[in-house]
Structure 1
Amino acid sequence: MITTETHVDVAVELRDVVREYGSKQARVRALDGVGIGFARGTWTAVMGPSGSGKSTLLHCAAGLERPTSGQVLLGDRELTAASERELTALRRKEIGFVFQSFNLVGSLTAEQNVALPLRLAGRTVSTKEVRAILSEVGLGERLRHRPRELSGGQQQRVAIARAMITRPSVLFADEPTGALDSRSARTVLGLLRSLADDSGQTIVMVTHDPAAAARADSVLFLSDGRIVDHLTRPSTRQVADRLAVLED
């Protein structure tokens, strides 16, 4: 669910966010006054043409980039006012991130990869908890396998388990099915759907795939750094048709 209503429980909110790159004549405005809130327990897909600001929105919302102006709030905490140390702590505890390229550590087993965020945060690692979350993503029998011994879909499920081990307030996913075959993509999307439905996980996902976007509760469309439309529970055809108009 996408909202601008203050009474809705919002997990992450952008208020009049501007993000610019470069200087003087070469200055580019990637986000142009974006204001949006993502309600807790919902899954939102973010779409738009190349260069529309999708990834920049995701990175600003996740505290990976600072806006040029405007505010980003994670619950009641303002990320734009946080120090680098505070941002690092928040990302480790409150934010999960899944990338297209998996970003697993090749020398570590699935179990060790999932436990890594806890170790980096200086938290006690519960082997039982790590194994439980790997079982949740269907990899209970792959605990000691290294990334090279897993398929692309299995590696992405390890990456999702790693992102979820800290029980984050928001899970950000940047093209999570972009490197997967259609069968693996369906498995990963089904996992994300169950996280939203069964665990109340808030998910914000950038994707170029209308079929992936249609699995979400809402689809947000960007063009030239601005929000131009959103659809609620759309079909794949509705998403594809709207995207085609923007890309025309």
Structure 2
Amino acid sequence: MTYGNAVELHEVSREYGLGVRALDGVSAVFPAGTWTAVMGPSGSGKSTLLHCAAGLEQVTRGRVLLAGRDITAAPDAALTAMRRRSVGFVFQSFNLIGSLTAEQNVALPLKLSGVRVPRRDVHAALARVGLGDRVRHRPRELSGGQQQRVAIARAMIMSPAVLFADEPTGALDSASARTVLGLMREMADAGQTIVMVTHDPAAAARADAVVFLADGRIVDRLVRPTATRVADRLVRLEG
């Protein structure tokens, strides 16, 4: 990457309807090649921050730079093209298509972009997440943890500048969650930028840093987190 920060937010506010302010003058940078967890009480603005950073929602005020480009006022078509080229998404609900196999689900984003996907690349992506022997399985034939790993392979097939994850372990049992988090840690160690919203201190502890939100503002930051330190900060915010 030729830029130092994968994502930059400058005095970003996001308002809805009758003056409801989900984000209130947030400034933050997410350095390239790092994994940052975003935490805070319910309603603190975590998912809104992620959506604005990824260009899924337009900010009310401020500026957003994604992969070195100012996307603040970009038209929808340009944002869509930018996301397909530079962004990967992993959500709690997996968002796999039940009628498609694992390899077809992984290849789908590229096909929608008009890009021919060599089968060997799709198989390599699934092998990277430990599913090289499940390429022809459909979601109903996979466990929750395996489905999330298919979703990660799908997100990674385009080598995105940033991987945005919204509660990626929220629907998983503890063993599956550890597997997924271990995979994400390997990706971060290899230089993948990850911005992850989570409510789980154990998940946040796998990141390089944690940003804490309250009432739409960044109120704290923790570097080299541990689950205990993260939980303590959350208790103080929610108390």
State the Cα distance separating 1:235 from its structure 2 match: 1.1
Q: Residues 87-128 of structure 1: CA distance to partner in whole angstroms, max 9, x if unpaired? A: 000111100010000000000000000000100111111111
CA RMSD of aligned residues (A): 1.1
Q: Please point out which of 8, 14, 21 is paired with 1:19.
A: 14
With the length of structure 1 as denominator, give the TM-score of the two structures: 0.95
Q: Please point out which of 100, 104, 110 is paired with 2:92.
A: 100
Opposite residue 138 of structure 2, the aligned amino acid is R
Provide the residue aligned with 2:168 in structure 1: 176
Helix, strand or coil: the match of 1:81? coil
1:247 maps to 2:217: no
Measure, in 1, the Cα distance between the counterparts of 2:215 and 2:73: 26
Percentage identity across aligned positions? 73
Provide the residue aligned with 2:200 in structure 1: 209
State the Cα distance separating 1:171 from its structure 2 match: 0.2
Helix, strand or coil: the match of 2:99? coil
Aligned residues: 238
Matches within 5 A, 1:136-215: 136-198=128-190, 200-215=191-206
Opposite residue 61 of structure 1, the aligned amino acid is A
Aligned 8 A contact 2:161 2:193 in 1: yes
State the Cα distance separating 1:9 from its structure 2 match: 0.5
State the Cα distance separating 1:203 from its structure 2 match: 0.1
Aligned 8 A contact 2:101 2:137 in 1: yes
Measure, in 2, the Cα distance between the counterparts of 1:141 and 1:216: 29
Gaps in structure 1 of 5+ consecutive residues: 1-7
1:10 maps to 2:10: no
Gaps in structure 2 of 5+ consecutive residues: none
With the length of structure 2 as denominator, give the TM-score of the two structures: 0.98
State the Cα distance separating 1:75 from its structure 2 match: 2.7
